[in-house]
Amino acid sequence: MEDEVKILSNIIKRRRSVFPISYTEQEVPVDVIKQILESANYAPTHKLTEPWRFIVFRNEGKIKLGQELARLYKETMPAEKFLQKKYYSIIEKAEQASCIITLNVKLNGDKVPEWEELAALACAVQNMSLTAEALHVGAYWSSPEMIADLKDYLNLGEAEKCYGLFYMGYHNEEPRTAKRTPIEEKIKWVES
């Protein structure tokens, strides 16, 4: 049991966001993607709603998703704030990733409040992040403004929303030390 805690603690402490610029051209196999997604399915979920929904974009699919995100950026950004460099960067990130997974939620407003479904999604994504780290796959959760306009592109149902993009790819990045303040600064004990 102590060995399991050490292994888990090590994975938690070394997990970092790894961005597409650092990804190699090595493709993440479908069975590895499935393993990462399977871990998401064991996140806590109030009333067992299991609200997480994922769409996996690979190959030409991820290229088209990147082009759609860039189009939405250009279409929704005021001309004075539009940056051509950012437009190209959106497309480039999609090309650099081995896959992009949309992080969607099926809301169950009749059973639980929306924030609980979002918390469940966040727990599912944490499971994905930790599993990806254990498998030496780089990953990060991106939430650009354009995701609010992806509903039609993703064919989401009436009660579904997209809350982010999960980029993944193998990488050669050196491990980085976490920058965290001591936990003692964030705890208040009440014993009487």
CA 162 to centroid of chain Cα atoms: 11
Pairing of strands 99-106, 137-142: unpaired
pLDDT of residue 72: 97
pLDDT of residue 2: 79
pLDDT of residue 78: 94
pLDDT of residue 109: 86
Backbone dihedral angles phi then psi of residue 176, each to the nearest 5 degrees: -115, 145
- Tens of pLDDT along 147-161? 999 999 999 999 999
User: CA-based diameter of the chain, in Å?
Assistant: 61
- Sorted by where each starts, the structural domains of the chain and their CATH numbers stand as 17-58+97-173 (3.40.109.10)
Which residue ranges in the chain fall short of pLDDT 70?
A: none
